[in-house]
Amino acid sequence: MLQITDLHISVDGTEIVKGVDLTINAGETHAIMGPNGSGKSTLVSTLMGHPGYQVTAGSVTFQGENLLGKEPHERAQAGMFLAFQYPKEIAGVTLRSFLFAAYKAQMAARHPEINVASPIKFKALLDETMRALQMDPAFADRFVNQGFSGGEKKKAEVLQMHIVQPLLALMDETDSGLDVDALKIVADGVNALKSPEFSCLLVTHYARILHYIHPDVVHVMVDGKIIESGGKEFALTLEQEGYGKWKDER
Higher pLDDT, 175 or 56: 56
Higher pLDDT, 117 or 202: 202
How do residues 98-155 score in pLDDT, each as one tens digit? 999 998 888 887 777 777 768 888 889 899 999 888 888 888 999 999 888 888 888 8
Higher pLDDT, 244 or 62: 62
Average pLDDT over residues 28-40: 89
Confidence band (pLDDT; 50, 70, 90) for 247?
low
pLDDT at 133 (0 to 100): 84
Q: What share of the chain is helix, strand, coil (3-state, %, to 5)?
A: 40, 30, 35
pLDDT at 210 (0 to 100): 84
pLDDT at 4 (0 to 100): 97
Range of the domain at 45: 2-249
Confidence band (pLDDT; 50, 70, 90) for 246?
low
In this structure, what CATH number is given to the domain that contains residue 40? 3.40.50.300
Given a contact cutoff of 8 angstroms between Cβ atoms, the answer to whether 209 and 239 are in contact is no
User: Per the structure, how many domains does the chain have?
Assistant: 1
Per-residue pLDDT at 242 exceeds 80: no
- Scored b (16 or more CB within 10 A) or e, 46-64 reads bbbbeeebebeebebebee
How do residues 208-233 score in pLDDT, each as one tens digit? 788 888 899 999 999 899 988 998 88
- Over pLDDT 90: what percentage of the chain? 49
pTM for this entry = 0.89
Secondary element (H or E) of residue 221: strand 217-222
pLDDT at 240 (0 to 100): 75
